[in-house]
Amino acid sequence: MAVLLQAYPKLNRELLMKTGYMSAEYVFYYKKNGENQLLQSTTTDSSTSKTAILKLTDPCAQWHPEKNGLYANITCIINVPSFLFGKNGLVAADGGKIGIAIMWMAPDSSERGVFAIDEISKTSAAPHAINGTVKFPAKVLRGTLVLRTIVYLKEHGNPDEMEKHQASEPGTVLGIMDETRIIIDGNGSVFPIHETAAPTNPIWWGQ
């Protein structure tokens, strides 16, 4: 059986550093009576330089993904997006466009998807700020949520002879800029535990 290998430039650490990319920062919240209720996100000791691992908690102790769903507002910055274009980049400088998206996975619930949030071209202003909001309906998330900020080919443009080696199929994933893992439950359980003086009750109980 023949194997087709597609050789085209992908985003690597060196190119990412040239762009001056500032990793995604998230603000998480849910809706209650039509109002946004902020969740606290805490970086865990398991975080690395490549992957941030966050634990979510609700100061009001009322959020649960089975009932409320989850919203995530993302902000990140590409200081010099022009490095992603041209013969040493990922896409043709003339008319090429790169899409920015959030690729998400929830392994414990066997769910995944992609949210397109922005696009850039050779002529995009520098620095380029990326802002977007993604919504996860109730009953979709469980266990751990993985969020990856990715770049993909949106428009091929008009490549010259020095750019013919670049990806040409719209939708092709060109690389991952960063990754964030969110603990939805388990060690990151949002249910609070309170010490209460109630000698007639069991050692622990739920309300």
Q: Residue 29 has what pLDDT?
A: 96
Q: What is the rounded CA–CA span in Å between residue 93 and residue 160? A: 9
Residue 23: closest CA among 139, 180, 193: 180
User: In this structure, what are the phi and psi dihedrals at residue 17, rounded to the nearest 5 degrees?
Assistant: -65, -35
What would the pLDDT profile of 102-157 be if each residue is shown by its tens digit?
999 999 889 999 999 999 999 999 999 999 999 999 989 988 999 999 999 999 99
Q: Residue 155 has what pLDDT?
A: 97
Tokens representing 93 are 């400088």
Q: Residue 64 has what pLDDT?
A: 86
pLDDT at 45 over 90: no
Q: Are 128 and 80 in contact (CB under 8 A)?
A: no
The answer, as to whether pTM is greater than 0.85, is: no
The confidence band for 67, taking pLDDT boundaries of 50, 70 and 90, is confident
pLDDT at 50 over 90: no
- Mean pLDDT of the region 177-192: 67
* Most confident by average pLDDT, 44-48, 58-62, 71-75: 71-75
Q: Tokens 């865990």 belong to which residue?
A: 44
Instruction: For the chain, give the number of residues.
Output: 207
